[in-house]
Amino acid sequence: MKKALLALILISSVMLSLAGCAVKDFSEAVTSSQSDDKTNTVPSDNTNQNPNSRDPDQSIPGGVSSVFENYEVMEGDTVALKVSLNMPVAEISDNEEIRAKLTERLDFIKSDISDYISRIEALYINSVKESGAALFTPSVLVSFVLNDFTEKAISITFNITETNAYGVTTYTSRHYNYELDFASPITCSTIFNDSDSVIAMLCERARQKEGLFSNFETLISSLAESRWYMDNGSIVFSFNPYDIAPASYGYVDFIFSSSEISPYLSEYGKDLFGVS
């Protein structure tokens, strides 16, 4: 009986050790997808790394600075959610007109992000109401990266890191591309003559990857409009974990240079990207 008990304890210890290793490996894989990219140079079709990640303490070029805010969302005496925000602020002193336009666009973008965070806050408040205090205090960290900024347009990405009540962390990026003179966002349908051809080119590039979901083409077609940003004349399609591949796959990115996209650009797109 003692031998059987000792054997059972030994087996349980081994299983716990293996489980701990599995969790550690997954955590490291996810963390690598959020690793700092100081130079913002990412190899084409980069996978398992988020090109939008950047040290939040790093100075951001192009007349945009950071404002940090930390607060707790309470439900009664219980902390339902801890929130850390890193938000952009226009910092242009030599061109008041561009500063005013940039401020207006940033205010609109920050309003959308605030609405998104408010929905997350409401979910955790309801969770406390229904289930009481959690084992782990959930948290949300929001940071941003200025992808591209010219006198015509701004492209900015917000990275949201959410850790739930069970200690599970998920990563999501939201991309915003705006022309400074207009409140409406820049869309694929406006910069491309034939966005379907661009989607086809994107799917062709995706076929070179292994491990994507079997219906990745359908998913790419439905998500591409909200999964892209501008980067110094190039266009990056960046899909979140679990968009078109398992979460452990990380971010799945496809970079197209100006020469690759120029045949598909509309006159508006050519003017925006400075392509003749």
Assign residue 234 the CATH number of its domain: 3.90.640.20
Q: Is the pLDDT of residue 24 over 60?
A: no
Average pLDDT over residues 211-231: 97
Give yes or no: residues 180 and 191 share one domain: no
Give yes or no: residues 52 and 179 share one domain: yes
Say if 9 falls within a structural domain. no
Is 237:175 a contact under the CB 8 Å cutoff?
A: no
Say if 216 falls within a structural domain. yes
HSE at residue 39, side-chain half, CA atoms within 13 A, is 3
Give yes or no: residues 179 and 217 share one domain: no
Is 180:128 a contact under the CB 8 Å cutoff?
A: no
pLDDT of residue 62: 60
Q: Which domain holds residue 212?
A: 187-276
Q: Which amino acid is residue 187, in one-letter code?
A: T
Give yes or no: residues 80 and 181 share one domain: yes
Say if 39 falls within a structural domain. no
Give yes or no: residues 97 and 139 share one domain: yes
Assign residue 124 the CATH number of its domain: 3.30.565.40
Domain closes at, from 156, 185, 214: 185
pLDDT of residue 134: 84
161/159 Cα distance (integer angstroms): 7
Say if 268 falls within a structural domain. yes
Is 247:170 a contact under the CB 8 Å cutoff?
A: yes
Give yes or no: residues 141 and 226 share one domain: no
- The backbone region for 165, taken as left when phi is positive above 0, alpha when psi lies in -120 to 50, beta otherwise, is alpha
Domain closes at, from 145, 162, 185: 185
Q: Which residues pair with 163 in a beta bridge?
A: 139, 169
Give yes or no: residues 95 and 173 share one domain: yes
113/12 Cα distance (integer angstroms): 45
Q: Among 10-14, 187-191, 217-221, name the one with the lowest average pLDDT.
A: 10-14
Give yes or no: residues 71 and 174 share one domain: yes
Give yes or no: residues 67 and 103 share one domain: yes
Which band of pLDDT confidence, cut at 50, 70 and 90, is reported for residue 184?
confident
pLDDT one-digit tens code per residue, 88-97:
999 876 788 8
Say if 3 falls within a structural domain. no
Say if 34 falls within a structural domain. no
pLDDT one-digit tens code per residue, 149-175:
988 999 999 999 999 999 999 999 999
Tell me how many domains the chain contains.
Answer: 2
Say if 197 falls within a structural domain. yes
Give yes or no: residues 158 and 211 share one domain: no
Give yes or no: residues 97 and 177 share one domain: yes
Domain closes at, from 149, 165, 185: 185
Which band of pLDDT confidence, cut at 50, 70 and 90, is reported for residue 4?
very low
Q: What is the pTM of this model?
A: 0.78
Give yes or no: residues 257 and 163 share one domain: no
pLDDT one-digit tens code per residue, 33-73:
333 332 232 233 433 444 444 443 344 456 789 999 999 99
